[in-house]
Amino acid sequence: MAESLLADPKVVQMIMEIHAYLQPHIAANNQRFDRFCANINRQLEETTQKLAQQLTESTQDMLDFEKQAFWGERADLSRSLNATACQSTAGLAPLPLPNGGYPAKGEFPETLGEFMSLERPGLTALLELYKLPPQDQVIDARNTLASYFNIPL
């Protein structure tokens, strides 16, 4: 039956007219679809770039947090050890520096006695090394450092 319909010139003419009528609509729909796809692709690309940047920032935040937590654990341990110093021969544990390292040999007093005998230049050097606020008086500098290092006075 389908063959007989296509053999009819009127049916073929109607099909051609329908095709001619639909052709611009199909083309317009294809263009709209292409624009839609391009817009979706652009949005996906922007979102992917934002996600990549957010992932990088989140990773850096986690690394910074881990570094701070590790610094805090080391500082807490040193402060705990320093809290037990009650004689001049008692050893002191340096806290980690703000950059995460430790003072070089000779920059931090090894004993409570050495700490108590520090004069203005040595106290000022420790304040600067640990980025603590400067103090005008020797007693204030010593108290600030003792509090920071948890050294009992």
% of the chain with per-residue pLDDT over 70? 98
Q: Regarding predicted confidence, which is higher, 22 or 125?
A: 125
Q: How many C-beta atoms surround the C-beta of residue 141 within 10 A? A: 22
Between CA 143 and CA 148 the distance in angstroms is 8
28 pLDDT higher than 90:
no
Q: Determine the average pLDDT of the residues in 27-47.
A: 91
Per-residue pLDDT band for 3 (boundaries 50, 70, 90) equals low
Between CA 71 and CA 67 the distance in angstroms is 6
State the virtual CA torsion across 6, 8, 11, 12 in degrees, nearest 10. 60
150 pLDDT higher than 90:
yes
5 pLDDT higher than 90:
no
Q: Determine the average pLDDT of the residues in 87-92.
A: 97
Mean model confidence pLDDT for the chain: 93
Token reading at 145:
């450092």
Between CA 24 and CA 122 the distance in angstroms is 88
Whole-number pLDDT of residue 41: 93
Per-residue pLDDT band for 99 (boundaries 50, 70, 90) equals very high
Per-residue pLDDT band for 18 (boundaries 50, 70, 90) equals confident
Find tokens 């950059």 and name the residue: 99
1 pLDDT higher than 60:
no
Q: Alpha helices, DSSP H only, in the chain? A: 2-7, 9-83, 112-116, 120-129, 138-149
